[in-house]
Chains A and B, each alone.
Chain A
Amino acid sequence: MASDNNIGAATGMRLFSELVVLLGTSTRTNDKLDALTRFFTAAADNDKVWVIALFSGRKPKRTVNATQLATWSLEMTNIPSWLFEESYHTVGDLAETIALLLPEAKDPEQDNSLSYYLSRLIEIGSESDIVKKDFILQCWAHMNKDERFVFNKLITGGFRIGISQKMIVNALARTTGTTASIIAHRISGNWDPSTSSFDSLLSESGAGSDISRPYPFYLAYALEDEPSTLGNPEDWQAEWKWDGIRGELIKREDQLFVWSRGEELMTERLPEYQAFHANLPDGVVLDGEIIGLKHRPDLPEKFSPLPFAVLQTRIGRKNVTKKQLTEAPVGFIAYDLLEYEGQDWRERPLKERRAQLEHIVNKVNHPLMHLSPIIPFDTWEELTAARETSRDRGSEGVMLKKKASPYQTGRKRGDWWKWKIDPLVIDAVMVYAQKGHGRRSNLYTDYTFAVRDGDKLVTFTKAYSGLTDKELGEVDAFVKRNSLEKFGPVRTVRPELVFEIAFEGIAASSRHKSGVALRFPRIARWRKDKKPDEINTLEDLKKILELHGK
């Protein structure tokens, strides 16, 4: 995929596809920022709005599905479907596979705007499959390979091209001359790219009309040094780090809104939150954790968290049954106060925000809404000891926040730190491998691991991350030389390579052969020093479940 780096000549979709190619190959943050800035300078306003929407996770509703795309492209390429499959497993991305397989365009000169394609894609949602197919084939017919890839990506969703929302915000700040944190706030929340204009989106007045609009979250970096490097313990507030979904609870103009950190409006999925409505003052924004909770009047903090797996049964569903509400109740652990009486409180010190937050939560007085408990400590040694109890409390570790800190935007160093406990670990052997996606395409990088059960091996988890590129290359070469069987894209591998698998939590699971499900499994290291007969056993895994599986 060559790029001639000549943004300027093209407009519309071509300009956008050149941007995507550039962002995909740039290895330096500054180059990406430059490319985005150039795009925001050159592109039409409507296209800019769409780019902001796409890169901040506002995907248009899917009107053509992946199967349809695959079927129609297969008709055009005239190859057997197994060969299409084989190609897909090697490329690791459907949109790109199709772009590579389609015959060359007949009329590659035409260039329509990005907003034309996106609004047409939305329009054809109500049309017949024949109309949909016609439109897609017509589009492909005048696109080059890169444009087809981008167009297919727009349809299948999931743009992952290595740019963060932060970068979009910085590029917009550069182009418009507005402060980054103001831009971040303006482009968050509930807006529709097909009806918003670029000016109204970025202007004070336009965005002010959205009463559901959340504030950008303040995120913490991991603490890598000893906490004593942070100075005087008196200046710090410590809380437990909960394993749910970070969210904002908003009440404005007598309406309640719940946002997830992924900027998804979750109000309807959490009907139990409506109970907070009556006692919550108007003009309030709370930052907190959306998490499965059990009411425990016997405990000092009055609640205990449920495993993440419980929350998982809820977050995908729009319509929640009574049974689910009783079996998997979701609560809110409040961390911070961002808006009070309609005023932005983010610049005030944490100490002041916390005091007011306590009043608010106490007034709501509901078994599903709690203050994030503050961990009392006078010395760093005391906090270190308290942190050791994290796992027993269903927490992932400790959060440290400077009492004088404002509520900042995005991930920032200095005032807030997360200090997680060491993960649980187990040694396992790799038994299956599959080719990865994206930058790991055509490389065996997705592995399934097993522990020993007598003379059998029992699979218990997959893990995708944790190895360096060099190690991935080595494992890939091993897989290619040591495959025992092929099941579609999966290869059974001679059980020889031993890895230490780290994970954050464990729960009983009837869906898994091993009887357990792990939270955040990843490869901690390659144990080249260990042989497959030295790995852990199913018995070991069950002991960990008993100890930590609640």
Chain B
Amino acid sequence: MLIEFTDRGLYCPQGAFYIDPWRPVDKAIITHAHSDHARPGSGSYLCHRLTLPLLKLRLGDNVYQAVEWNEPVLINGVRVSLHPAGHIIGSSQIRIEYQGEVWVVSGDYKTENDGISGAFEPVPCHSFITESTFGLPIYNWKPQNSIFADMQNWVRKNQADGKTSVLIAYSLGKAQRILPALAAVTDKIFLHGAVWNVHQTLVEAGVGLPAVKKVDLDAPKEIFKSSVVIAPSGAEQSPWIQRFQPFEVGICSGWMQVRGNVRRRNADAGYALSDHADWPGLLSAIRATGAEKVFVTHGFQAALSRYLNELGIQAAEVRTEYGEDEFNEPEKVSET
């Protein structure tokens, strides 16, 4: 076993490092900067170049080492390299090789190229550790362009009705992904403080993103009229949102695929736009690795691993402490 499943996280005994540990360890390799995968308190962190500024933003000063995709490093004789996972900016799969055996940890991934996170790269391996957030056949995404077209129509209709369009999107990843589509229909885009902080960090790191403004808490209400606002989950229930009256709320999340979730969230519109692979995406990614053994983590691991076994791919469920929900991650909604 090149990876052991321990109570601190995924551990490589030969290399003496952890991947996305959920407790502090000496040496951590981080797939991406979402807070359930990148936790504080470890001795040192290895990550992708574009993940680095985000880790600094979220975890503060630490010992960091940044690498490019496909730039191998040796750790105690184990060859480690990062490969695009297509989940969010900087997100990477971790390939580890030792004495001819290759394991890949997917982290979170999606197979559709969103134009901003890097195209998912299938990495051949013996053992593949895959996520399964949307590991049921009911999760079958529409192409991004078609969802963006729906979203743009919705914004246009709100503009015509004199309403502000408030889009609820995860502040790291989804918020940046929808920006180009929104910039095509408006030049009045405002960001919630939590989204703004991530946005600024990425712009400073050299990522090209459309021009936006931060929601100024002291600004007169009129400047938001008919604009587009991007805010993290939870903001739609806080008093903060009232300044945009009249407004409509649209939620961007893979969970919006099911009607009940849209209704439960009391959204005016739900967009099943996910940064995770859908069912066909998971299956194609797993097949492309050619792995003999698949370990299925966070999500519908029971269903996906049973299905893989029935297809003749040896698979097992593994319990992790990663969020199973795109919105599970605690986000700071309060303004800073």
Residue contact A25 to B268, C-beta cutoff 8 Å:
yes
Task: List the B side residues contacting A496 at CB < 8 Å.
Answer: none
Query: In this complex, which of A86, A436, A469 has the most chain B Cβ atoms within 10 angstroms of its Cβ?
Result: A86
CB neighbors of B among A432-463 (8 A) = 436-443
Which residues of chain A are near B138, meaning CB under 8 Å?
87, 90-91, 97, 100-101
Which residues of chain B are within 8 angstroms of A255 by Cβ–Cβ distance?
none
- Distance between A153 CB and nearest chain B CB, rounded to angstroms: 11
A86–B260 contact, CB under 8 A?
no
> How far in angstroms is the closest Cβ of chain A from B270?
6
Q: Which residues of B contact A149 (CB under 8 A)?
A: 259
**Residue A4 interfacial (CB < 8 Å):** yes
A92 CB contacts on chain B under 8 angstroms: 258, 260
Are the CB atoms of A1 and B272 closer together than 8 Å? yes
The smallest beta-carbon distance between A336 and chain B, in angstroms, is: 37
Q: In the complex where A1-B259, A83-B137, A100-B257 touch, is A469 in contact with B264 (Cβ < 8 A)?
A: yes
In angstroms, how far is the closest chain A Cβ from the Cβ of B259? 6
A415 near B: Cβ within 8 Å? no
Q: Return the chain A residue nearest B306 by Cβ.
A: A82
Q: Tell me if A6 and B153 are in contact (CB < 8 A).
A: yes
Which residues 61-103 of A have a CB within 8 angstroms of B? 77, 79-80, 82-83, 86-87, 90-93, 96-97, 100-101
The one of A83, A437, A439, A443 in contact with B303, judged by C-beta atoms closer than 8 angstroms, is A83
By a CB distance below 8 angstroms, the chain B residues around A101 are: 137-138
Among candidates A3, A5, A79, A91, residue contacting B258 with C-beta atoms closer than 8 Å: A91
Q: Which of B224-277 contact A (CB under 8 A)?
A: 255-264, 266-272
| B150 touches which of A2, A93, A439, A469 (Cβ 8 Å) | A2
A27 at the interface (CB under 8 A from B): yes
What CA separation (Å) do A442 and B135 show in the bound complex? 13
Are A5 and B262 closer than 8 Å at their CB atoms?
Answer: no
A24 located at the interface, meaning its Cβ lies under 8 Å from any Cβ of chain B in the complex: yes
Q: How far is the CB of B100 from chain A (nearest CB, A)?
A: 36
Asked if A26 is an interface residue, CB under 8 A from chain B, the answer is yes
Once bound together, how far apart are the Cα atoms of A274 and B127, in whole Å? 76
Residues of chain B lying within 8 A (CB to CB) of residue A82: 306
Q: Does B147 contact A (CB under 8 A)?
A: yes
Of B153, B260, B268, B324, which one neighbours A91 at CB under 8 angstroms?
B260
A1 touches B264 (CB 8 A): no
Which residues from A are CB-within-8-Å of B257?
Answer: 1, 100
- What sequence of 0s and 1s flags, for each residue 25-61 of chain A, a beta carbon within 8 Å of any chain B beta carbon? 1110000000000000000000000000000000000
CB pair A24–B263 under 8 Å, yes or no, is yes
Q: Please name all residues of chain B whose beta carbon is closer than 8 Å to the beta carbon of A77 when the two chains form the complex.
A: 137
Q: B169 CB to closest chain A CB, in angstroms? A: 14
Instruction: Return chain A residues, CB-CB under 8 Å to B272.
Output: 1-2
The chain B residue with its CB closest to the CB of A445 is B264
B136, A86: Cβ atoms closer than 8 Å = yes
Give the contacting residue for B269; candidates A25, A86, A438; CB below 8 A. Answer: A25
A469 contacts across to B, CB distance below 8 A:
264
Chain A interface size, as a band, is 35 or more
**Distance (whole angstroms) from the CB of A481 to the closest CB of chain B:** 10
Query: Cβ of A440: which chain B residues have Cβ within 8 Å of it?
Result: 260, 264
Indicate if the CB atoms of B269 and A2 lie closer than 8 Å: yes
C-alpha spacing A442/B266, complex, angstroms: 16
Q: Are A439 and B137 in contact (CB under 8 A)?
A: no
- Knowing A1-B256, A101-B137 are in contact, say whether A25-B307 is a contact too (CB < 8 A): no
User: Which one of B150, B259, B268 has the highest number of Cβ atoms from chain A below 10 Å of its Cβ?
Assistant: B259
Q: Which residue of B lies closest to A97 (CB)?
A: B138
B310 nearest CB across to chain A (Å): 6
A26 touching B268 in the complex, CB below 8 Å, given contacts A1-B256, A1-B259, A90-B258? yes
Establish whether residues B259 and A93, one from each chain, have CB atoms under 8 Å apart when the complex forms. Answer: yes
CA distance A441 to B153 in the complex (A): 28
B136 pairs with A3, CB closer than 8 A: no
Chain A residues within 8 Å of B137, by CB: 77, 79, 83, 87, 100-101
Contact A83 B307 (CB under 8 A): yes
Smallest CB–CB gap between A424 and chain B, Å? 30
Tell me the bound Cα distance from A4 to B153 in angstroms.
Answer: 6
Output the nearest chain A residue to B255 by Cβ-Cβ distance: A442
Q: Which residue of A lies closest to B146 (CB)?
A: A2
Judging by beta carbons under 8 Å apart, are A441 and B261 in contact? yes
The verdict on B23 contacting chain A, using a C-beta distance below 8 Å, is no
Q: Is the pair A442, B269 in contact by a Cβ cutoff of 8 Å? A: no
Q: Answer yes or no: B151 CB below 8 A from chain A CBs.
A: yes
Q: Is B69 part of the contact surface with A, judged by Cβ < 8 Å?
A: no
Q: Which residues of B contact A24 (CB under 8 A)?
A: 259, 262-263
Task: Name the CB-closest residue of B to A104.
Answer: B140
In the bound complex, what is the Cα–Cα distance between A5 and B153 (angstroms)? Answer: 8
Beta-carbon contact of B307 and A80 below 8 Å: yes
Least distance between A406 CB and chain B CB atoms (Å): 37
B151 and chain A: residue at smallest CB distance = A2
Q: In the complex, which residues of chain A have a beta carbon less than 8 angstroms from the beta carbon of B154?
A: 2-5
Shortest Cβ distance from B273 into chain A, in angstroms? 9
B268 — which chain A residues lie within 8 A by C-beta?
Answer: 25-27
Q: List 26 A-B contacts (CB under 8 A).
A: A1-B270, A2-B147, A2-B271, A5-B154, A5-B157, A24-B262, A24-B263, A79-B137, A80-B310, A83-B307, A87-B136, A90-B138, A90-B258, A96-B258, A96-B259, A100-B137, A100-B138, A100-B258, A101-B138, A162-B263, A436-B260, A439-B264, A441-B259, A441-B260, A442-B255, A480-B324
Known: A25-B270, A77-B137, A91-B260. 6 other contacts (CB 8 A): A4-B157, A24-B259, A82-B306, A438-B259, A439-B261, A441-B261
Query: Which residues of B pack against A, CB within 8 Å?
Result: 136-138, 140, 147, 150-151, 153-154, 157, 255-264, 266-272, 300, 303, 306-307, 310, 324
| A interface list, Cβ under 8 A from B | 1-6, 24-27, 77, 79-80, 82-83, 86-87, 90-93, 96-97, 100-101, 149, 162, 436-443, 469, 480
